[in-house]
Structure 1
Amino acid sequence: MAGRKRKPDHLKVVAGTDRPDRTNPDAPVPLSELPAAPEWLSARAAEIFDQLVGIVGSMGVGSASDTAMLAMAASRLEEVEICTAIIEDGGRTFVSSAEYDEQGRVISQQIKGHPAVAQRSEAMRHAQSLLVEFGLSPAARSKVSANKSTNENPFAALG
C-alpha cells in the first residue's frame, strides 16, 4: 500500500480526529492486559522490554497484542548496546591488511570500517521505526493528546 501508514482508530479518538466514516467497525480489538517478555529474549533484552512496557503502558497504548513488536524493539535496542560496546572497544575502523619493509615498518595498509558500525546503524534505524509505532518519539507523541490521569481514590465516592 502506497502513502502513509494508517493511524490506529484509538489514536484518532485520543487525538480528536476520529470520524465515523473513516473508522473500521470490524477492526480487531487488542487485548487489554500489558504484555510479558517472551522467553526467547535475552536477560538484557527482557529488561529493555519491561522498560518499554512501562512507558507504553503509562501512555495507554500498550497491549498484550503488541508483544512481538515490543520484543523486536527490545532486541534491536540490545543489539545497539552490544554494537556500541564493540565499537568502543575496537574503534570504528580496523587494518585489514598491511605491507612491511625489511625493518618491520609499515609501507602501506588498508583500513576498513568496522562491521559493527553498519550493524549498529541498521539496528538503530529499525528500532527507531518500531518505537515510532508506539508513539515513542517527540514527533509521534506530539500528534496524540492523552487524557491526564487523576490520582483520585476510586472508592472515595462510596464512603
Structure 2
Amino acid sequence: MAVIAAKHYGAERIIAMSRHPSRQALAKEFGATDIVAERGEEGIARVMELTRGIGAESVLECVGMEQSMQQATRIVRPGGMIGYVGVPHGVTFDGQKMFFAQSGMLGGPAPVRRFLPELLELTLARKIQPGKVFDLVLPIADVAEGYAAMDQRKAIKTLLTLGD
C-alpha cells in the first residue's frame, strides 16, 4: 500500500525493501522502481548506493520493529521525513542523532476517513488495485491460520470470508 501511495502522489523513484518474491513482484507491479532485499547494515548500504550516498527524501516505515525503524532513520536524507504506520514494538531511537541528522518523523493511526472517498474512487475506476495484496482467502473460522500464514510470509494478506 505504501508503494501505491508513493506512486499516486508522484514519487519518481520508489525503493521497496522486501526479501519475499511475492511481495517484491507486487511492489514492482504497483510501481516500485527498485527492490532491496538486504537488511541491516547491508540494506542501509544498498539504499545509500541507490541514492548516490544522499539517502531517501521520504521514508515509510510500515513494520513497527526495531530493525526496520533503525533502517528508516539511517536511510533518510538530511531534511527528509520518516512516516511510520507500523505500530512500534520495542522501538527506541536516539533523538539527538535525528536532531543532528536534520530529519523528521511523524506517525500514528491512519486517518482512514480522510482518504477513503478518494481511495474508493481510485479503486472503482481501476486506477489502483489494492485488493491484489490478498493472496490467501480463508473462512473467518480459520483466522488463526491466516495470521500464521502472514507471519510466516506464506501470504501477503489474508482475506477472511463470512460464508461458505
Q: Which structure is higher in strand share? A: 2
Q: Which structure is higher in helix share? A: 1
Q: Which has the higher contact order (CA 8 A, sep 6+)?
A: 1
Question: Which structure has the greater CA radius of gyration?
Answer: 1
Q: TM-score with structure 2 length normalisation?
A: 0.22
Q: TM-score with structure 1 length normalisation?
A: 0.22
